Amino acid sequence: MTNPGRFAVLHEAAENLLDELTERYIVERRDTTKPAHTVRLIPHTPAAAPLAVTFTDFPSVVLRLGRWYEESLPNCGCDVCDEHPEELVADLRTQVSALVEGGLWERVRRGVTGSWSEARLIGPDFNASRSAPLDAGDAKAARRDGFAAAVQWAPWPRRS
């Protein structure tokens, strides 16, 4: 990794995007610094999914959309992977746009070997899925919260 500093533009882009979202939508903004600087935007309607952006020292950003969808930008950052900061900024905006427009679905699936979370994010020219195993306690809590069936998060409420 010869130049990790090239990804510093992601921090600035994420801060600008968070400011835009706070102005455009009815959300509560929560900033924390422990263990890492994280900004959470929580829509004022419980049917809309929250957004969290964690700023790492690398520099990179980690998006958490809804309950289980997570994306690290860049995914690796090494010279071989050759991720381009401009494309990552576009990915950041695309994924967040899909979230605020109501394009996130999540659910818990039960299988023979246990339970796992499933998340799907769909937007114009974007479609991604994530799945991960859940421990028994997390699976039970998620089912109790209504995630046994697929949940489509609502669009964020706009300011007048």
With CA atoms as reference, report the closest residue to 96 among 87, 105, 104, 84: 104
Say if 159 falls within a structural domain: no
Say if 157 falls within a structural domain: no
Global pTM?
Answer: 0.92
Q: For residues 18 and 94, state if they share a domain.
A: yes
Average pLDDT estimate for 55-84: 91
Q: For residues 79 and 118, state if they share a domain.
A: no
Q: For residues 84 and 146, state if they share a domain.
A: no
pLDDT score of 158: 97
Which residues, other chains included, contact 146 with Cβ-Cβ below 8 Å and sequence gap of 6+?
none
- pLDDT tops 80 at residue 79: no
pLDDT score of 2: 80
Percent of the chain's residues with pLDDT above 70: 100
Q: Count of domains in the chain? A: 2
Say if 60 falls within a structural domain: yes
DSSP one-letter code for 77 = -
Which two three-digit tokens encode residue 153? 């998060």
Band of residue 14 on the pLDDT scale cut at 50, 70, 90: very high
- pLDDT tops 90 at residue 47: yes
